[in-house]
A and B are shown apart, each in its own frame.
Chain A
């Protein structure tokens, strides 16, 4: 899978960084999402999908 993040849409709520800190962080500047690992291992897939689902702004998507 490949994670795509749109920082223009992100509202910095931090649900992604809270759910999978190994994959998502937030910039110190404006709190928008920083993808640490755009192609995470299969073991994190479920958590990443949950983060995408929880994101309140629709900034995150997954390309299979």
Chain B
């Protein structure tokens, strides 16, 4: 093990908006695995290499249970071990507890199910584009387009009234902000759980034909568990795709050739979505895991109790796996990126996110062929202070 940087700590501070922090890239150039000091002074690991990242995420000896985790940065979300994870929040469970919840949901998120949703996603997208056209530029693309589309889609799918969005969007923003104090993050989570508990109770009284209603009727989960599942799906379902739409559009606007390909050639759209996911890797902290027993990873020993942080953004640019990894090239065939994770926790909503992006990017670019930034690119506020990367606002006109 080389020790290229003594006392290495994690960072989310970027030199350029679309590239991961240079320091993390520099570590990958030296070694796929490096010692790292966590925010609680724990001495754990940083994984920067693609092959090793996949190996950790697929390995059954790495846990995601909050009481075992260490925070790579002073991140309230990952400091959740200070709170109890709500029942049903299966992203923070190991098999077999995790399996029980995941199996109840996977039937709802299959490739085929998501295909059936496409006409509705198209309609929602067109409604937003009509509203933008009526309003006229400049508009903030995040508020007008990137946020409402995934928010409306996940609300309809789950059966959460979209009219309540002010409450759940505010709560989830506080939960995901790295600036929130643990008390603020916990209060926001409790508020959202309270809201979902009420909603579940209403669905118990009055059956509804949506995902939460179906889970209520299925009778496998109690109200607390249902609220926890709802919390996970609601937060994961709109914050992530929203940031891909905002950041992805920003990236295309600064790469006119790539933008033209996505706008004009339907055949590149599918690959473009994968390439944008790889290149932008909005998951800029983790995934994080802790070894529950000693693990030998191709000659590297990770000891029981040691934390591992996957730097997915630099692993997704590992030249041993991806050619010309530092360039955005929407026309190349790309697969196997780690933006949705890997292993048993690989994103449950990925086929939904793909459907939303495949519809939304080209629809936006075709409706407004003259789409351009309404501010200098340097003035676009970046989400380095949030658990999920992206743009806070994207002022555009056409």
Contact = CB atoms under 8 A, between A and B. Distances in A.
The answer to whether A and B assemble together is yes
Interface of A: 11-15, 17-19, 21, 25-32, 50, 53-54, 56-58
Contact of B102 (A11, A26, A29, A53): A11
B354 to A, nearest CB: 8
A4 to B, nearest CB: 18
Nearest to A51: B335
A26 B105 CA distance: 13
**Which secondary structure characterizes the binding site on chain A?**
loop
What 6 A-B pairs have minimum CB-CB distances, sorted nearest first?
Answer: A12-B106, A31-B106, A56-B346, A26-B110, A17-B111, A14-B111
Given A12-B107, A13-B346, A28-B107, A56 B58 contact: yes
20 contacts: A11-B344, A12-B106, A12-B110, A13-B347, A14-B109, A14-B351, A17-B110, A17-B111, A18-B351, A21-B111, A26-B106, A27-B110, A28-B107, A29-B107, A30-B103, A31-B103, A31-B105, A31-B108, A31-B109, A56-B341
B397 interface: no
A54 B335 contact: yes
Contact of A13 (B112, B113, B336, B350): B350
B106 A30 contact: yes
B344 A50 contact: no
Given A13-B347, A28-B113, 9 more contacts: A12-B107, A14-B111, A26-B110, A26-B112, A30-B106, A31-B103, A56-B346, A57-B58, A57-B346
A56 B110 contact: no
Nearest to B104: A30
Contacts, number: 73
Nearest to B98: A11
A56 B342 contact: yes
Contacts of B354: 18
Contact of B110 (A11, A28, A58): A28
A8 to B, nearest CB: 9
B336 A12 contact: no
B107 A53 contact: no
A11 B112 contact: no
A18 B111 contact: yes
A32 B344 CA distance: 12
A57 B105 CA distance: 16
Given A11-B106, A18-B351, A32-B106, A25 B112 contact: yes
A45 B66 CA distance: 41
B343 interface: yes
Contacts of A26: 106-107, 110-112
A57 B350 contact: no
Nearest to A27: B107
Contacts of B106: 11-13, 26, 30-32
A35 B127 CA distance: 38
A32 to B, nearest CB: 7
A25 B105 CA distance: 16
B112 A54 contact: no
A39 B105 CA distance: 29
Contact of B344 (A19, A21, A56): A56
A53 B336 contact: yes
B344 to A, nearest CB: 5
Given A14-B351, A56-B58, A58-B58, A31 B110 contact: yes
A37 to B, nearest CB: 16
Contacts of A13: 106, 340, 346-348, 350
Contact of A11 (B104, B107, B111, B346): B346
Contact of B335 (A12, A19, A21, A56): A19
Contacts of A11: 102, 106, 344, 346
Contacts of B113: 28
Give the most central of A11, A26, A54: most B CB within 10 Å. Answer: A11
Give the most central of A11, A13, A28, A30: most B CB within 10 Å. Answer: A13
